[in-house]
Structure 1
Amino acid sequence: MSARLRCTLLATSLLVSSALASPAWAQTDSAPGTAADATSPAPGIQAPENSPVAESSTGEIVVTGTLIRDPNAVASAPVQVVGRDEIRLRQSNTAEEILRTLPGAVPSVGSAVNNGGAGSFYADLRGLGNFRNVVLLDGNRIAPADLLGRVDLNNIPLALVERVDTLTGGASTTYGADAITGVVNFITRSNFTGAEIAASKQITERGDGAYFRGDVTLGSDFADGKGNAVLSFGYQKSDPVYQGARGFSATQIDSYTGRPGGSSTSLPSSFSVGALGTQQLNVATGALVTPYQPFNYNPYNVFQTPFKRYNVYSAAHYEVADDVELYGRGMYSKNTVSTIVAPSGVFGALVTLPLSNPYLPAAARASFCANNDFNPNLAGIQTLTPAQCAAGAVATSPNDPNYRTFTTQLRIRTTDVGPRIDVYETQLFDIRGGVRGKISSDISFDVSGSYGESENFHGQDNYVSLTRVRDALLATNPNNCLSGTAGCVPLNIFGNAGAITEAQAAGLRVPATSRITSSLTQVRGQINGSVGLSSPLAERPVSFAIGGEYRKYKAAQEADALARNPSELGGGGGAITPFTGGYDVIEGFGEIIAPLVQNQPFIQELSLEAGIRQSHYSIKAPGSPSFNTTTWKAGGSWQPVDAIKFRGVYQRAIRAPNISELFQPSSTGLGSLNIDPCAGRAPTTNAALRAVCLAQGAPAFAIGVIQNPAAGQPNQTTGGNLALKPEKATTYTLGAVIRPSFVPSLTVTIDYYNIKIEDAITIPTPQDAINACFGAISAASATDPACTGIRRNPITGALDGDAGTTGGVLLGRSNAGRLSTDGIDLGVNWRHDFGPALLNLSFQGNWTNSSKFRATPISVNRECVGFYSANCGYSGSIQPEFSWNQRTTVTVGPADVSLLWRHVDAVRQEPLDVLANGPAFGTFGRIKSYDIFDSSIRFRAAEQLELTITVTNLFDKQPPIVGGSIGNVLFGSGNTYPSTYDALGRRFAFGGRLTF
């Protein structure tokens, strides 16, 4: 969509909302007695007895977990609720901050993910992947932000959110594909009138990490109460917190040795020197020696990514005639996220240098002459004599017969160029409109349509051009670059920081850009109501919903020539390959909730719930078959007495492959792996191992000196697969709601969940790929496809290097995977008056019994609950066995004093990682249970003014230290897991809210 069209649609939406509104001077969140008012939860995470029911900003009745919009309907699936009070007490800035701390969920890509994040924040329910759940706004899908169909949580308008409902377990029957692990439903406030101005400021105790958020919301009833319109504006800005600003993360530590670690792409430079392998320059002597100084990249990385956001949300509904209402909403968001990582450089690419390079030290020149091949076209290694080497040192013209060049694999960190900065600017526009009304007193209809589009622009700054590096290294004197690149000056790679002048650095920097666009078109119609019939033993009639839906997904990735070239950007992480893709889905669905027995002895209520959804997918690619899927659910609830209710639901869910899984071209990027079986001396003593390493592309002279992947990041090659089919899941929940009469206001919920996914669309982990080849090396064959699919650096034999020549481990995508998890959720809520004080206690806890992932039938069936490693957990994040949140709030008059206790159970190094890489150093193999406390004080200074002070990490607890090489690169950073544990330290937030 063009910028002009986006602006036109946005302006139209805002004008409609503004035109419908009229001034109002009394502010209310929802009309007294509405569903939203009745179920708004107290602070804390709730698991209410009934399915949450609310009216949204467009006037719709929303019941999370069912399409039936009867406020009396009770769905059987448990739903966790985070209310508006909890959001305000935490002074949350983004929806991701709320969801990452939910017991049973695992942290996904968010503000603490620096290296590998793409500017968007996501939710991951049950740790089975952030693309296996659906994020809804008022029960409806919004435009995805990327190629995997995920919704960016940055775009959720928190200022208008009444509450967040989280339903875990399959929900594909109700909401369609992708909802295998559940849904997150953000419910907006209904019938907002008046004005609300809110602002908050956050800062850490160390004085960094400033975060500002401001929101202005206006709303009004109009046409004698027949309609309501709301308009909200928001702004946020956060500053980075560098890992170098915290003592525990200032130096990268090797998880297995306990010594300072880092990347072998370092400074001073390292070179491949024939059979000597990789050698590093000793600047003081000019000699090439055994590598001695890895690069400490931690100080350049951040724990809090810089973020800026502007958002606008508008909604309106208007009763145009008796029982006929028009409604609509529009939202626009512009987010800018900057990820900052260590400087660029040359990461194992091949370069050619003349012996007369003006900066080449004499001792280093002598090593190259004695070990490198100066005539690769002839058999054997053709080295130079000292006389030939001396003659080449002064031969500056290629026409001179003594002019000599050699090729080497170069590793250099160009710190003088500056850190790599990736700026992601995302714009989202989503507009929805519809008409609803009554067909009869018991039956209603709703027809709606929507269109949304997201554009993510990616700018890469301070990356080094390898073409320009190669050109500058060929220069034989300060006034000449042989290939004639404009602005080229000879480059000094033979020094410490400061050796590369600004003139040289300016000649290396190149900007690169890429863009991802995605869109979602939706049309839906449904009929909702009751059939007017009921069971002979029940009073309430059978409720139903029936309808159809059409969705069209499109996405595209484009990139400039620099971003497309896998061998051009130093440290670019692989090529960004352009492609387009899409698919359509047509669905028909139906649901019923039928009370069978009511108000009978030992059966106060017995009800049945069932649903079915038939889907037809049409993939937009030549020769790609379409496919049909069926999902269904069956469940019910039984309340024998007032004090207890039992509930359960069984579902057959599906997830269709997303656009990335189908269409993504094969490309080489970075993965996580610490130990390469071909590294070190092992291949020199094991003939079978040596044969496999050679078959994978390692040169013979490198055997015995191959190094492990730099920074634990091997190259890995992945791509889409148009032959993929939907994955299938069976999920069920069984639970109870207990409200004992002898403890008034006490509610206890306990629910067991079980999710199993077959034909899962997965790729192996890098360790799986290594195990498939090297797991039984005595029986391995140099012709085994599991071995030959691994492609090594042709110069060094390593698994890292130039993405254009080194494919690394091949990770094919297929339907061969299996995933499963099960556990128990426990919720306890109690409220009691103690004279002038009101005490509110809430507890939400999770016990995860198991979480297994097997990518292929020959892969390890990896159990990851309570473990951590580079390969553990499907998402790469930590999933503890036990976790809980407990909030205590005391209200006295106009003041609330609240304490939130967050607990993460102890975890330890994955046993399979111990076998593959050895035990972690010292205490790095175990993380003790982690408890953190947040306190809040809220004071209503006047009827219109509310002030809140929040202290996060009250006792300034430091995160656990496990080193920088034991975790997945997305979530293991700064010697800890900053998405799971608090790396910022104690911080203060001051907020105010003015309403009138």
Structure 2
Amino acid sequence: MKNQSKIAKSIRLALTIGAITTALPGAFAFAQEAETEEEASGVEKIAVTGSRIRSANLNSVSPLQSFDAGDIDASGVANLQELLLDNPTFGTPTISRTNSNFNTASAGIATVDLRNLGTARTLVLVNGRRFVSGQPGEMAVDMNTIPAQFIERVEILTGGASSVYGSDAVAGVVNLILKNDFEGVEFEGQYGQSSEGDDTERQFSITTGATTDSGKGNIMFHLGYTDQGGVFSRDRERSAVDQFSTFRFTGDPADAFTPTRPFFSSFPPQGRFDAGGVRYTFDSNNNLQEGFSTNGDGTIGPDGFNRSDYRRIAIPTERYLFASKGSYELSDNHAVFFEANYAASQTVTELEPFPFASDDIYADGAVPLEFDVNGTILTNPYVPDEILNSAVDVNGDGLRDLDFFAKRLLGVANRGNIADRDTFRFTLGFEGELVNDWFYDIYYVYGQTKEAQISSGQVNVQNFRYALEAVTDTLDLDEDGITDEAICVDETARSFGCVPIDIYGFGSITPEAAAYINAPGMLSSFISQEIFGGNISGDAFELPAGPLGVAVGFEYREETSRDEFDALQQAGLNAGNAIPATKGEFDVTEFYIEANIPIIEDVTARAAYRTSDYSTVGSTSSWNVGFDWQITDWMRLRAIEAESVRAPNINELFSPPSQTFPPDLNDPCAGVTASDTGTVADRCKADPGIAANIAANGSFTLNQSDIQGISGFNRGNANLIEETGKSTTIGLVFTPDGMLEDFGLTIDYFDIEIENAIVPTPRQFILDQCYGGDQSFCQFITRRAAPLGTNSAGSLEFIDSADSNSGGEVNEGVDLTLTYSGNVGPGRLNSRLAYTYVIEGGVVPLPGAAADPYVGEIGASEHRANLNVSYDWDAWSVSMGATYIGSAAFDDQFLAGFDLAPGAIEVGSEVYVDTQVTYQLTDTVELFAGVDNLFDPEPPAILSGMASSDTGTETEAGTYDPVGRRWYLGARARF
């Protein structure tokens, strides 16, 4: 019944659009003419990104930047994300190959983010139509799924465009336009690696196309393969050894944070053990010793563990790509077309083995060492005598217990995952000319993304407990006649193959025990997108200043998503994050109308309106009004005011509580003493755990485990409504003639304000409000009442957060682009400079609250620019690209936690230079070689423990290059 309903709805939509068409004045007045105006004049009418109206001379009233296939070839990129991020209008991506090694899902996909407003507010299109998401529950397109070599050009439209394209276009649109009517065969191969000998990259592709003898049909195919190798943290000096940035205020903010290197983990592979108030570990010769320290001299000693030896900076990514496109003329005015895309990719993450502690199993962290079996006291055979003799009864049952243990599970497996993703998309449609200058297209799109992920390094907590509770079988409990073996106490566990585990010392865990406690994780996800839509555009009637251009259309879209981990992961019984399954779907029916209205000569107004009906949030609407004024032959003024909407996605609506371990949080109570006064101190001391901590230490003291052991749960909200973005853009376009005819200049001012923004309440904001503002936020905070394992009394245990429409966001700035193309010397010089200055940008966490500014902070520099220059001379072509990232400060909320003013600590600006040389060997063969990050600057030192640090990279790896200089060479052959 559901499918029948969908079909019926689609038919009704088609009938409705037909009714709208017949009602347009003069639409069919010239149906019997022998030829169209287009045919007579030889001028093709096309649509530009930002408008559905087809015209021969329509200009965009929104800022529009573009680059073509030649720019893609000159960049040598493996996927489009790498090229797009050079453009200053883009912010730091949520997910890339270099900042997602620690992601439990979607690691290695490539997303884009206009204006730093989030991937959810950037709409990615292919040939003006939506593309299926690559991230479950989100609307983010994975750029890995679209072959760069199959793209003719990319158009980047900034500013709200929901009235034309629908939800999600709050920050703007990225429209990927595929090659058209390609004929012949093109081969391309490329090989490269970093100057350190890693990050090896291979690319191979073939593109072919042919036109039928009649000229009515064209079909194109593309096959591609890319393989990008990985980079380990240990292979870069800055990240080879664990370090941590410690606050030591000396009076100079620039020296406030001093790196402690090494700063080894307190979870060592040999284990550390607390018994009767004494701490034990094993030295490098596997001899038991008292005391434990993670301090060292840069080499791994007997105590701490160097996690950086196992982490990755860049994730290996392998892709197989197929794309096809074709059309066939059914008659002089009608054609059928299709697009097909398939991408299969595999990514591999890797990080250090699991840090396991006894409080992952037992609530109080105490591990039983003795057991009363039928009146006989049996002892764990693996526990060293010295530890056993120190042990006392912790839980009051009269038997000795280990107070606590922590151990790196080196004998089980490294953590990480292998993710196989498959994305399929197919488009089928009809397009053509109904009557004189009235064009239509109608289409059906289906896309889906599947992910199958297997993870390693996790353990079955219940099995681990059974394996720990082992004894010497002096009573022959298993009735096998052997009385000196170790067995599991629990009879049921024995019947299911329980293997006792030895946790004491290096290499203590046997392969059999490791296999018993090992719990490989699995994740399965499925995303689907189904669209049926159509558009009609043409000139409705003549006005004194010209024809009134009109476009109308509809779209029905259904989105579904589900992702679910294995049962242990969902329940949190593999010692990792508890992540339940997320499932949801929604559908939306939309209608729009757009008009291009000539007011007087050289002045045109533009307006569009869209109404949408969502199954989740109900009815929404969006609109834009703009104008275009050709002031002189060389100067044009454009402006647009738009109201865009974004409906909540599936994760925001339906995600159940999902565990996370948020980094970079500052506890407002840290350092509070018994004599301190004021709101913060009073509220902190009111907590029993904090009071006990102060009494024991003189001030509220936190250790490494406290800082790194904060957890919490994120959850969606089924009561969310749509968010609304209001944007204003005013620009000047200069195309001088005469002596300056080779130059072009655009200047655009933009201002975007988002109301009812869908945001998770920031955890630092929750902390600051609880202890210094609104105490109602304290309900989301849980502190430890007493010491637990290595954690201090009163330390933060959980901070929960949920999505709500409680936020807002602002982004204001200026874009400038300057182009030059002309003959210089014996060749031709082409250049383009794009520059963005962000005046203001910030997030409003609650209505009426002060905005938390992010402009000028790491990942959102005030100043960004990109310069591209190429020079063509005979068979040679030389190109250079330079990307400038302005200086930036650490997050003001992070600095405030140390009583430092916003901007007190900065990182300097960075410039990345890429070059390529191309030589046309023959008419059909082209050779090329290039170097990316030519001067190989060290990325800013943003160390573990500091805001914006990406674990394992010791920098902000989405903004700055953590890999270093890379070279490549290749060849293209066209026939």
Compute the TM-score of the two structures, normalised by the length of structure 1: 0.82
Task: Report if aligned partners of 1:236, 1:308 keep a CA contact under 8 Å in 2.
Answer: yes
In the alignment, which of 606, 611, 614 is matched to residue 609 of structure 1? 606
Q: CA deviation at 1:597?
A: 2.4
**Which of 715, 722, 727 pairs up with 2:711?**
715
Matched, 1:357 2:383: no
Which of 89, 92, 100 aligns to 1:104? It is 89
CA–CA separation in structure 2 for the residues paired with 1:290 and 1:208 = 34
Q: Does 1:641 align with 2:638?
A: no
Deviations 1:558-602 (A, max 9, x none): 232122121x223x3x1231232111111110111122222xxxx
Select the residue among 441, 453, 473 that pairs with 2:468: 473
Residues 924 and 961 in structure 1, CA contact (< 8 A), matched pair in contact too: no
- Give the RMSD, CA atoms, in angstroms: 3.0
Aligned partner of 1:691 in structure 2 is 686
Q: Which residue of 1 is the match for residue 489 of structure 2?
A: 482
Counterpart residue number, 2:539: 530
- Could you say which structure has the greater relative contact order, defined with CA pairs below 8 angstroms and 6 or more residues apart? 1
Q: 2:584 aligned with 1:597, yes or no? A: no
* Helix, strand or coil at the partner of 1:258: strand
CA deviations on 1:187-245 (whole Å, 9 max, x unpaired) are: 11110111111111120111111111111111101151111101111111121110110
Greater mean alpha carbon deviation, residues 486-495 or residues 427-436: 486-495
5 Å-filtered alignment, 1:554-573, equals: 554-566=560-572, 568-570=573-575, 572=576
What is the rounded CA distance, in whole Å, between the counterparts of 1:279 and 1:617 in structure 2? 60
Structure 2: how far apart are the matches of 1:575 and 1:820?
A: 34
> 5+ unaligned residues in a row in structure 2: which ranges?
1-37, 247-257, 296-302, 371-378, 473-484
Tell which deviates more after alignment, 464-473 or 753-762: 464-473
Q: Residue 781 of structure 2 contacts residue 796 of structure 2 at CA under 8 Å; is this kept in 1?
A: no
- Using the TM superposition, give the Cα deviation of residue 987 of structure 1 relative to its aligned residue in structure 2, in angstroms: 1.1
CA distance in 1, matches of 2:275, 2:768: 30
Distance 1:544 1:279, change over 3 A: farther
Is residue 140 from structure 1 mapped to residue 136 from structure 2 by the alignment?
no
CA contact (8 A) 1:232 1:314 kept: yes
Q: Percent identity?
A: 27
Q: Provide the secondary structure at the position in 1 that maps to 2:588.
A: strand
Which residue of 544, 548, 568 maps to 1:542? 548
How far off is 1:447 after superposition? 1.2
Instruction: Give the Cα separation in 1 of the matches to 2:864 and 2:708.
Output: 30
Residues matched between the structures, number: 870
Shift of 1:270: 4.6
- Residue of 942, 955, 959 corresponding to 1:980: 959
- Matched residue of 1:159: which SS? helix
Q: 2:163 aligns with which of 173, 198, 202?
A: 173
Mapped to 2, the partners of 1:54 and 1:862 lie a distance apart of: 49
- Partner in structure 1 of residue 579 of structure 2: 576
> How far has the Cα of 1:696 moved from its partner?
13
Write the distance in 2 (CA, Å) between the matches of 1:696 and 1:211. Answer: 56
Pick the aligned partner of 2:173 from 183, 194, 198. Answer: 183
Q: What's the counterpart of residue 388 of structure 1?
A: none
Q: Judging changes above 3 Å, is the alpha-carbon distance between structure 1 residues 316 and 787 closer, same or farther for their aligned structure 2 residues?
A: same
CA contact (8 A) 2:666 2:894 kept: no
Q: Aligned pair in 2 of structure 1 residues 944, 793: CA closer, same or farther (>3 Å)?
A: farther
Alignment of structure 1 residues 205-220 onto 2, 5 Å: 205-220=195-210
Cα distance change on mapping 1:697 and 1:265 into 2, 3 Å: farther
Q: What is the deviation of 1:612? A: 0.3
Residue pair 1:263, 1:710 contacting (<8 A) in 2 also: no
Partner of 1:433: 428
Cα distance in structure 2, aligned partners of 1:807 and 1:857: 28
What SS class does the counterpart of residue 954 from structure 1 fall into? coil
SS in 1 for 2:466: helix
Does 2:314 match 1:304? yes
One-letter code of the match for 1:258? P
Structure 2 partner of 1:990: 969
Say whether 1:846 aligns with 2:836.
Answer: yes
- How many angstroms apart in 1 are the aligned matches of 2:692 and 2:511? 38
Residue 533 of structure 1 aligns to a residue whose secondary structure is: strand
Output aligned runs, 1:389-400, within 5 Å: none
The one-letter amino acid of 2:537's match is: N
Q: Which amino acid aligns with 1:553?
A: E
Secondary structure of the structure 2 residue equivalent to 1:633? strand
Following superposition, the deviation at residue 271 of structure 1 comes to 5.7
Q: Is residue 530 of structure 2 the alignment partner of residue 521 of structure 1? A: yes
SS in 2 for 1:416: coil
Is 1:95 aligned to 2:80, yes or no?
Answer: yes
Give the aligned partner of residue 951 of structure 1.
931
Measured after TM superposition, the shift of residue 835 of structure 1 is 3.8
Going from structure 1 to structure 2, the CA distance change for 1:973 and 1:97 (only over 3 Å counts) comes to: same
- Do the aligned partners of 1:966 and 1:972 also contact (CA within 8 Å) in 2? no
* Alignment-derived partner of residue 320 in structure 1: 330
The residue number in structure 1 matching 2:753 is 756
Moved more, 607-616 or 904-913: 904-913
Cα offset, 1:964, TM superposition: 1.7
Relative to 1, partners in 2 of residues 1:906 and 1:349: Cα closer, same or farther, differing over 3 Å? same
Letter paired with 2:637: F
SS in 1 for 2:220: strand
- Cα–Cα, structure 1 residues 908 and 833, in superposed 2: closer, same or farther, change >3 Å? same
Per the alignment, residue 39 of structure 1 pairs with none
Tell whether the 8 Å contact from 2:274 to 2:402 is kept in structure 1 after alignment: no
Among 500, 510, 515, the residue aligned to 1:506 = 515
Is the 2:204–2:226 Cα contact (8 Å) retained in structure 1? yes
Q: Residue type matched to 1:669 in 2?
A: T
1:769 aligns with 2:766: yes
Is 1:928–2:916 an aligned residue pair?
no
Structure 1's 649 and 824: CA in aligned 2 closer, same or farther, altered over 3 A?
A: same
- Aligned letter for 2:743? L
State which of 130, 142, 145 in structure 2 corresponds to 1:155. Answer: 145
Distance 1:280 1:255, change over 3 A: farther
Are the structure 2 counterparts of residues 530 and 817 from structure 1 closer, same or farther at C-alpha, using a change threshold of 3 Å? same
Q: Distance in 1 between matches of 2:605 and 2:59?
A: 10
CA gap of 1:861–1:683, structure 2 versus 1, over 3 A, is farther
TM-aligned CA deviation for residue 712 of structure 1: 4.0
Alignment of 1:119-268 (within 5 A): 119=107, 120-145=109-134, 146-256=136-246, 257-260=258-261, 261=263, 263-268=265-270
Look up the match of 1:553: 559
Residue pair 2:684, 2:690 contacting (<8 A) in 1 also: no
Q: Does 1:886 align with 2:886?
A: no
Q: Conserved in 1, the CA contact under 8 Å of 2:102 and 2:951?
A: no
Q: Give the counterpart letter for 1:482 in structure 2.
A: V
- Cα offset, 1:345, TM superposition: 3.3
Cα distance in 1 for residues equivalent to 2:835 and 2:585: 40
Amino acid at match of 2:446: Y
- Give the conservation status (yes or no) of the 8 Å contact 1:646–1:735: yes
Contact 1:318–1:327 (CA under 8 A) maintained in structure 2:
yes
Matches within 5 A, 1:657-668: 657-668=648-659
Deviation, structure 1 residue 155: 0.7
C-alpha separation between the residues in 2 aligned to 1:668 and 1:553? Answer: 25
* Offset of residue 254 of structure 1: 1.4
In 2, the alpha carbon distance for the partners of 1:767 and 1:487 equals 46
* 1:896-935 correspondence to structure 2 within 5 Å: 896-917=877-898, 925-935=905-915
- The alpha carbon displacement at 1:917 in A equals 3.7
Q: How far apart, in 1, do the equivalents of 2:407 and 2:223 lie?
A: 47
- 1:727 deviates by 0.5
Q: Deviations over 1:666-691 (max 9, x none)?
A: 12112123433456775798664243
Shift of 1:267: 4.3
SS of the residue 1:772 aligns to: helix
The CA deviation string for residues 387-424 of structure 1, in whole angstroms up to 9 with x for no partner, is xxxxxxxxxxxxxxx7544564x432212333212112
Corresponding residue SS for 1:965: coil
Deviation, 1:162, is: 1.0
Structure 1 residues 250 and 532: CA distance shift in structure 2, 3 A:
same
Whether the 8 Å CA contact 1:695–1:788 is kept in 2: the answer is: no
What SS does the corresponding residue of 1:562 show, helix, strand or coil?
helix
